Amino acid sequence: MTRKLPRTRGLHELYAEDPQRADRLLWDRDVDPVTRRGFLKRSSLLAMAAAVGAKIPFADRMPGGLIPAALAQSDEPFTLQGKEGLTVLNDRPINAETPAHLLDDDITPAERMFVRNNGIPPAMDAIDVAAWRLEVAGESCVTPMTFSITELKERFAHHTYQLQVECGGNGRSEYVPAASGNQWTTGAVACPRFTGVRLRDVLEACGIADDAVYVGYYGADAHASGDPNRDPISRGVPMEKALEDESLIAWAMNDADIPYLNGHPLRLVCGGWPGSVSGKWLERIVIRNRKHDGTKMGAPSYSVPKHPVAPGTDVPLEDFETIQSMPVKSLVTFPKSGITHALGEPLTVRGHAWAGDLAVEAVHVSIDFGATWQPAELSAAPNRLAWQRWTSALDFPEPGYYEVWAKATDSQGRAQPMVVPGWNPKGYLNNACHRIAVQVA
């Protein structure tokens, strides 16, 4: 008789199933239901310190149910042509995110721009820029028209904005129970410079009827099934968003052609909202007299419950609302998580913060798991809907294992939660504080 060996279960799997149970199994840690701090026995504290490689000076303030940042890093060796260093989450359709430390540039380079595709991009060798056409039509379009890219460039004024684009599911991997979809961590966000013409100028040239309420798009990407009668995605925005100065029909990114995987030769960019409204490989825009009803406009796609729900709840479709402006968020981009730092020397940390349609009012950082916070220096955005650079210098009181946490507050006073916000079925809008591990020796 052959004895069946027990299946080895990984750290991430245990925390994904039940973070509080994982705390008890791994560290014998109990969580206070009110403060959410985790209480560690001396033997358990020693075990966690051994796992992260150093004493943990503020262990008594550490929230329960979280994997220490030092153990939460992934080193899977994935690569994608033109996007070296990104982590590939899926290959059909292609989706890849950027590790936080590779997002340190003020303006995101093309090779660091995350990839979020719902369908299969048109074949690269089949894209003929000279022959590409953009049709503008719809029930509320007074005079439907078609433009070549050359005609767009010649007829309308050019505008360049640095615009923050983030997938609505960025951070999905932290939700428990797990939500379906790409398990993004923190890297489905970017803020490059886009050049093109204002969507408003093109729509007005075609005539916007008085009953217009929404704009939708269609791209040249194909449905993953191969069915030519199915659209992989066709989303849009209300007229108010479409008519903003910063909403662009873009052909360039960082003064070069838009990368193939990010929508070359033409795409929409509506910064501050889920990246799914910024359609790629743009072929058609429709001005609608009702909310656009294209693929993935209906719940639960890019939608969240209208009211808080318990984790795992089966939410009726009529109780969802479409996501619009993204929530306030920040990212630590320097140093890379897991560094060793010398005691007695200040550590410079920096990153970016953004807040959807709003501005960021302040960023604070903590080295004691949120028991205390110190303000960071925050720079103004280069233009509306761009992220903002923050920097801070930190001093550590003694050797050991620390986590640097960042928390942003928007211009309406709403701050990031320390831990994952209210659960939703599709795992959208996770704006929990980002954190990195630092060993002080």
Q: Which of 48-57, 276-285, 322-331, 429-438 has the lowest mean pLDDT?
A: 48-57
Collapsing DSSP to helix, strand or coil, 90 comes out as strand
Section 300-310 average pLDDT = 96
For the chain, give the percent of residues with pLDDT over 70: 91
Give residues with Cβ within 8 angstroms of 147, minimum separation 6.
133, 134, 136, 155, 202
CA distance 378 to 254: 24
CA distance 242 to 363: 30
Which of 217, 345, 353, 343 has the alpha carbon at shortest distance from 287? Answer: 217
Section 62-68 average pLDDT = 81
* Residue with the larger pLDDT of the pair 26 and 288: 288
Strand order in the sheet with 115-116: 87-91, 94-97, 115-116
Is the pLDDT assigned to residue 403 strictly greater than 80? yes
- State the pLDDT at residue 87: 80
The amino acid at residue 86 is L
Residue 55 near residue 399 (C-beta atoms within 8 A):
yes
How many whole angstroms from its chain centre is CA 311? 21
Residue 81 near residue 46 (C-beta atoms within 8 A):
no
CA distance 215 to 341: 51
Which of 287, 265, 139 has the alpha carbon at shortest distance from 205? Answer: 287
pLDDT per position as a tens digit, 162-190: 999 999 999 999 999 999 888 999 999 99
- State the pLDDT at residue 307: 95
Two structure tokens written together for 348: 């410079």
- State the pLDDT at residue 28: 72
Q: Is residue 226 very low, low, confident or very high in pLDDT (cuts 50, 70, 90)?
A: confident
Q: Is residue 13 very low, low, confident or very high in pLDDT (cuts 50, 70, 90)?
A: low
Residue 24 backbone dihedrals phi, psi, to 5 degrees: -70, -40
Integer-rounded Cα Rg, in Å, for the chain is 23
Is the pLDDT assigned to residue 29 strictly greater than 90? no
Section 419-436 average pLDDT = 96
Collapsing DSSP to helix, strand or coil, 436 comes out as strand
pLDDT per position as a tens digit, 81-136: 677 778 877 766 888 899 999 999 999 999 999 999 999 899 888 899 999 999 99
Task: Tell me 22's DSSP state.
Answer: H
Q: Is residue 76 very low, low, confident or very high in pLDDT (cuts 50, 70, 90)?
A: very low
Is the pLDDT assigned to residue 336 strictly greater than 70? yes
pTM comes to: 0.86
Neighbours of 237 (CB within 10 A): 24
Give residues with Cβ within 8 angstroms of 6, minimum separation 6.
none
**Average pLDDT over the chain, rounded to an integer:** 90
Is the pLDDT assigned to residue 78 strictly greater than 50? no
For 100-225, where are the E strands, in sequence order? 115-116, 133-137, 145-148, 158-162, 165-166, 189-190, 193-198, 214-219
CA distance 301 to 295: 9
Angle at 435 between CA 52 and CA 194, to 5 degrees: 140
Residue 233 near residue 276 (C-beta atoms within 8 A):
yes
Which of 233, 226, 213, 229 has the alpha carbon at shortest distance from 282? Answer: 233
Is the pLDDT assigned to residue 431 strictly greater than 90? yes
